[in-house]
Amino acid sequence: MNLDALNKVANRLVEPGRGILAADESNATIKKRFDGIGVECTEDNRRDYREMMFRAKDAMSFVSGVILYDETIWQNGKDGTPLVKLIEDVNSIPGIKVDEGTRELAGARGDLVTRGLDKLHERLPKYHEKGARFAKWRAVIDPTNGRPSYAGLVANAHALARYANLCQEFDIVPIVEPEVLMDGDNDIDTTYAVTEWVLKETFQQLYYLNVALEGIVLKPNMIVPGKKAAKQASVDEVAEKTIRCLKACVPSAVPGIAYLSGGQSDELATAHLSRMNQIGGFPWKMTFSYGRALQAAPQKAWSGKAEQVEAAQKAFLHRARMNGLASLGKWNETLEREAA
């Protein structure tokens, strides 16, 4: 393990002004997105869509790294250029999702546990050879209906740590993603309490598994109420509670935090990040690692039509720029409207 190299990559990923594009939807998930815009989910369409984003040079100037799905990392663009090369050519870092989704953990109140550790030690060097310098593994925690169970929480934290340990062995920066979901009716304080527990257990397991914190990026949820909660929260409340929770749980040796958007609206995901960076007073860089909150607008503009590529790239540029500003604490509503 070359910790110096890992630390350099981790720092590049969270460089102020830029953040990560999560373009690692599984075929089942991207099919859901394509269904929403009336596009058939074929291998070529998936390639064309992602190629459209990676060739959007202006937008990509705000993208420090791209998380790819296993199909995408091996694909070439229409003219034969490897998609990985398109990403490297704009000074962005290719990454790879290595988890294999979830399955219910027996006897754990319906908690899910993330799969994919088997043979991970054989897959990682192949991804590294192809250019991946970081990876992603997502644990999913449901904070409703008496969940999570102790068993579910510990199993997920342990799997994240095993994954992170393996990534570092093969000189790949692990993005450690324990996601507390925001789909339910949980209030903001429940999200806070569950996230605190999840983060504390995750860092305990990372410690037990000898993971070097200087060579990881944490990808947590923000402290928001569930979408179906009786009361929503202000931008200030989300920003303050998220900072407080992370300060209580995340060691300062971690170079950076790159949030998932988790189902927040595009603009709220941006506003929350910007407000946190405006408040400041924490030891890590804070940026985005958004999937939906970066792609919803360009997806809609593209709608599978070659003649719409330019409009889609423009929509992508706008969201990427707004989030780049948010990583500096410099986004505001006037800029959002002016540039739109």
Positions annotated as catalytic residues are: 177, 219
Q: Which is nearer to ligand 13P, 261 or 277 (CB)?
A: 261
**Nearest approach, Cβ of 305 to ligand 13P (angstroms)?**
23
Q: Which is nearer to ligand 13P, 1 or 41 (CB)?
A: 41
Query: What whole-number distance in Å separates Cα of residue 124 and Cα of residue 71?
Result: 15
Cβ neighbourhood burial of 81 (10 Å; 0-12, 13-18, 19+): middle
Question: Least CB distance from residue 79 to ligand 13P, whole Å?
Answer: 28
> Coil, strand or helix: which one is 64?
strand
* Interaction site with ligand 13P (CB under 6 A): 22, 138, 177, 260-262, 290-293
Nearer to ligand 13P, 241 or 292 (CB): 292
The two beta strands, 63-68 and 102-104, are unpaired
Minimal CB distance to ligand 13P: which residue? 291
The rounded distance, in Å, linking the Cα atoms of 189 and 128 is 40
307: left (phi over 0), alpha (psi -120 to 50) or beta: alpha
- Cβ 222 to ligand 13P shortest distance, Å: 10
Minimum separation from the CB atom of position 63 to ligand 13P (A): 14
Which CB sits closer to ligand 13P, 1 or 184? 184
Separation between Cα atoms, residue 190 and residue 296, nearest integer Å: 28
What secondary structure does DSSP assign to 36-48, as a single string?
Answer: HHT----HHHHHH
